[in-house]
Structure 1
């Protein structure tokens, strides 16, 4: 079977061409693919016409999704020196319209924990007395910090870019379009972004004396019909099961490196998978989303909502393709994947190039709109500039474009793309996906995931410092790990079996169900078919408040609230582990009888 898969890989990978990616990039550099815009529709129809020409089955949906689109911001310093400073406003900021927000500025340096999107529900007066002040702080727009400052009475917040560009972004905390559970969750104050040089000048003035300023923000918010491409490449055997490969269509400005190159790679992969579909045992579904930036993943969230039951039943894994093929991005040392697919991803990159790779827990980002369903996931951003080169260039961290600092700026143009690197990244994606769709048994090892969860439980118990016991869930996890190891010992028996063999299908169903349970409890709080807020998601998030306990007064209301939360959280996690154990016990019992 290994030989067969290798031959399939060689056949497809040798057929990769740069003709289609180049044609797409040449067209996209003439468009500003803002979601809800005519240029976005033009881009979608351009891609759809290619699919039509190749007779690849596809649909173009037009979901109504909620967007917050920044239009302009005006920032004027009144004292000590009157002047206007170039500024932008992030998506999901409060729009002041023609009303001026006026006030005294207060500089608050960013602490390390301020740089994440996390929101601390127990934080009070975290930043001092900010009531009636306009806060100046460092870094990219951060949802959690903006929300906390608003709760503490600030009039607004101004973020200082880490470098020469003012990078577009969002402070939205609602993942996708709002529902009744989260419609009131967005930050309540306006936000702006300014350049590093202007920011440092304001810091100096603020440290020397009083600084007053006024600003306006203008955004267009509402529901917009946007194009979403849904492509189907049907496999030859277990065709109802599929890998979901996806990336976003919309961009800030021309957005060649984020995500024009991703669209170029996705459509070239669609061409190749369709041309060689007779070599695919299972199917591949490719989606190209709107609403990634100004909708906080609204397109992929709509898809998860509309096709949630089918995804739960049939989706094997989801794979994000964002910012592949960018200039100088030759390293695979900063990838994203869930624990159960680490071996798959590392071996695929090794097969593709003979290179080592490293991966980390996926952030709450990148159109990972399927965690609540419990779908195993890998890749997000693709290759990146090697760390040594980043240091030599003096580049700061960005969230795409292969680490090129033109990310989310007006300068994300054709020079950011590299067709040779697009080919490299396509090879990585295709090699990994082919392993999933053609392997008889899904190549996911949840014993590794469970080991990660057990390490997390140890960390949380240490943090709780005797205030709360995790003994119930730890016992369940230890017993499950033993049973899971027994389960995985049986899987080599099916390595050369047809994907349609009944026992193979049953084993794969169990593997997918294990994922539905373990992925969900490790990456979500909200539960199945709901969407958590777009803020950092710690491991086993129901139990992560264990970190609060040692700092709280045991007689306080907050302390009792956290204990209650942890009790409920431990019940949820334990229940999920018990469900997995029941699955394995049934299968192991049947297998034991069959062998005797």
Structure 2
């Protein structure tokens, strides 16, 4: 930790953040609306007052704003909402006896003819279930909330704006959700052999509209071409969205205020972005920004610090905040320092405006704190009020907000001020080695993993050598060493977090660790000597070549970093 940062956390002001949050809480910030832009102008005024260079960029985004919903069970209305990216219902609604399909897993869908069906499903609406329903030819989905509150959800699996190639992957079903009591009554009636007629009326406004991004910059000591740290979070909300994401926005403002006062200690610049289209466009703004600024971000961005839904009442668990492997150590140190908790090292998921891992930019944080009891199917670790009209300022605990902001500030300050970038590529090597070790027994004598195992071992060795030199590095070599560490990230992060693809965005669906290993996993699952094994082996060889090339690029980069840092 930089010596200057020993007391920097004390500068976090809960009073200042709550004052800003009281202002932000005034607006309902649906993507692309005048009210969203008005709220963003307030945030911009604060950033300008803190000395940042600001500008609002307007861009085209494919946004889906749910309208009114009406669900009737045998003609009796029950409380319901429409989900973002639902199809609008026919004029007279869609009526059918539902088909109960549990939680909508792959196994729940398997072997069933669901063409034209209305599916009754447990839990919140998700992109994965919406895709299965669309592929099965279902006409509609009705989701049963796990409790009396109904959560707004975006069900599109397409990351960012749909392209000519991906627009076909948008959901093609009518989707509503109801509270648990009402949905359970339908489920129980079906179980008793009854045939309730359920009618879905769903309005939705889906299409292209202009949405804003607030971009704020302060240059590093070398000027506008210096490497930079990207701090970002979404500004759009469901309803007033005071925790999600107003609290994160005021934490970003507070970090920006504090670090701007210590610019003499910066080693690199910083950019702070407030996105639209997170809630209603499946991360449309951050994906658009990654695409439009790909070259600059590739050359200059050392890390992405993401922040979402901080400071909730009862949010006492900080062990599950996420990061890419390279920044897990940084996250663990920040959480231990300010919360006294040991980080578990949860993988970075496909969510939360993580639009930059494909470029090869390491990422840290997101939701820093969570509730102590998480319902596994409901995924409501952020509180029962998440994505509901009850996400108001009374759901914020000022002490928790200060704690979370100190964690955020700690990570940002390390990235801004440490002479050698705090990127731990040894952790990345260990992550890959663990995956290879799981595969090895099933592939023994069938497929040679040795090139990848050896590459991961060399990567670990080189990363250790870099670590041993990071605190004694000569000043003249720092730029070369840091550029080499960034090159290593560009080779490795897409392999771990983006299917190895640097120029497009994987869908907003669960992604296995080191996804390019999937053909090898399929080979391990195939029957030895079978025809299937021979087909899969073709893909496995190509995947091995792809990973081996990435490891070779990363090794060369770390070797350059080691040499630049000296003996």
Provide the TM-score with structure 1 as the length reference. Answer: 0.88
- 1:423 alignment partner in structure 2: 402
Q: Which residue of 2 aligns with 1:222?
A: 207
> 1:507–1:230: structure 2 CA closer, same or farther, 3 Å change rule?
same
Q: How many angstroms apart in 1 are the aligned matches of 2:361 and 2:326? A: 11
Q: Give the equivalent residue in structure 1 for 2:116.
A: 132
Q: Which runs of 5+ in 1 are unaligned?
A: 115-119
Instruction: Note if contact 2:320-2:343 (Cα within 8 Å) is conserved in structure 1.
Output: yes
1:399 and 1:407 in contact (8 A); partners too: no
Identify unmatched segments of 5+ residues in structure 2.
Answer: none
Contact 1:460–1:543 (CA under 8 A) maintained in structure 2: no
Measured in 2, the distance between the counterparts of 1:548 and 1:192 equals 36
Alpha-carbon distance in 2 for matches of 1:371, 1:37? 29
The verdict on how the C-alpha distance between 1:148 and 1:172 changes in structure 2, with shifts beyond 3 A counting, is: same
2:302 aligned residue (316, 324, 328): 316
Quick one: which of 160, 165, 183 aligns to 1:176?
160
Checking the alignment, whether the CA contact within 8 Å between 1:322 and 1:381 is kept in structure 2 is yes
Please report the TM-score for the alignment, with normalisation by the length of structure 2.
0.92
2:51 is the counterpart of 1:50: no
Query: Residues 44 and 199 of structure 1: is their aligned pair in 2 closer, same or farther, counting only changes over 3 Å?
Result: same
Alpha-carbon contact 2:29-2:237 (below 8 Å) kept = yes
1:373: how far off? 0.4
Aligned to 2:454: 478
Tell me how far 1:245 sits from its aligned partner.
0.8
- Counterpart selection for 2:429 from 443, 447, 450: 450
Distance 1:166 1:558, change over 3 A: farther
1:390-449, Cα deviation, whole Å (9 max, x unpaired): 38xxx677657x632100001111111122221111111111211122111111221221
**Contact 2:452 2:547 (8 Å CA) reproduced:** no
Partner of 1:572: 546
* Residues 551 and 376 of structure 1: CA distance in aligned 2, closer, same or farther (over 3 Å): closer
Among candidates 171, 177, 185, match of residue 187 of structure 1: 171
Instruction: State the alpha-carbon separation in 1 of the partners of residues 459 and 345 from structure 2.
Output: 27
* 1:507 aligned to which of 481, 494, 507: 481
SS in 2 for 1:188: coil
Three-state SS of the structure 2 residue aligned to 1:226 is strand
Residues 1:98 and 2:75 aligned together: no
Greater shift, 160-169 or 439-448, is seen at: 439-448
Q: What is the distance in 2 between the residues matched to 1:344 and 1:148?
A: 38
**Deviation, structure 1 residue 340:** 2.1
Displacement of 1:127 after TM fit? 5.3
**Matching residue of 1:117:** none
| Among candidates 231, 235, 240, match of residue 245 of structure 1 | 231
Secondary structure (helix, strand or coil) at the match of 1:130 reads: coil
Q: Which residue pairs with 1:529 in the alignment?
A: 503
Does residue 407 in structure 1 map to residue 386 in structure 2?
yes
Native 8 Å contact 2:500 2:515 kept in 1: no
Residue 196 of structure 1 corresponds to which residue in structure 2? 180
Aligned residues: 565
Asked if 1:33 corresponds to 2:19, the answer is no
Measure, in 2, the Cα distance between the counterparts of 1:164 and 1:421.
Answer: 26
Pairwise CA RMSD of aligned residues?
2.7
Question: Aligned partners of 1:358 and 1:213: how far apart in 2?
Answer: 44
2:57 is the alignment partner of 1:61 = yes
Cα distance change of structure 1 residues 131 and 464 upon mapping to structure 2, 3 Å threshold: farther
- Other structure's SS at 1:48 match: helix
Of the three residues 511, 518, 523, the one matched with 2:492 is 518
Residues 559/283 of structure 1: CA separation in 2 closer, same or farther (3 Å cut): same
**1:272 Cα shift?**
1.4
Question: Do structure 1's residue 359 and structure 2's residue 355 form an aligned pair?
Answer: no
Q: Does the C-alpha gap of structure 1 residues 142 and 549 become closer, same or farther in structure 2, counting only changes over 3 Å?
A: farther
2:319 to 311, 333, 353: 333
Q: CA deviation at 1:465?
A: 8.4
CA distance in 2, matches of 1:66, 1:450: 38
Moved more, 36-45 or 489-498: 489-498
